[in-house]
Amino acid sequence: MDDLVLTTELLVSELVGNVVRHARDPVRLRLLRSRSLICEVYDGSLTTPRIRHAGRADEGGRGLQLVAALSRRWGARNLHDGKYIWTEQDLEPGQAAGVPGGPDREEVRRGDDHPRG
């Protein structure tokens, strides 16, 4: 799982940074470990993000391309009071939940409970 630390930090930084720049409070972060590692970032905006195609001279516009490249899958889910963006990363063999020494599910939360739609 150590190999996922830098990638996860980069994904979290990009997703939370997008909320700070383009969305609004509240912001919630949740990491879930099961058969894969899921990162969810919730914000109070109803605007769905989209991948932009930045020009050579553009300083921004590459973040979701980076998220797509570093994740096995990613997406957005709209809720009645906001949305969450999620990414999924594969765990190393033997790191999935249910293996000896590993939890069935591990959650790390920052902020309030994540809403479910």
Residue 80, Cα to own-chain centre: how many angstroms? 19
91: in domain:
yes
Q: Do 85 and 71 contact (CB within 8 A), yes or no?
A: no
Residue 81 located in a structural domain: yes
2 sits in the region (left: phi over 0; alpha: psi -120 to 50; else beta) called alpha
Residue 115 lies in a domain: no
| Model pTM score | 0.72
To which H or E segment does residue 86 belong? strand 82-90
Assess if residue 117 is contained within a domain.
no
Tokens, residue 91: 């765990």
* Structural domains counted in the chain: 1
CATH of the domain at 59: 3.30.565.10
70 part of a folded domain: yes
Per-residue pLDDT of the chain (117 residues; tens, 9 = 90+): 677 899 999 999 999 998 888 888 899 999 999 999 999 999 999 988 877 777 777 676 678 888 999 999 999 999 999 999 999 999 976 555 544 434 333 333 333 343 333
**47 in any annotated domain:** yes
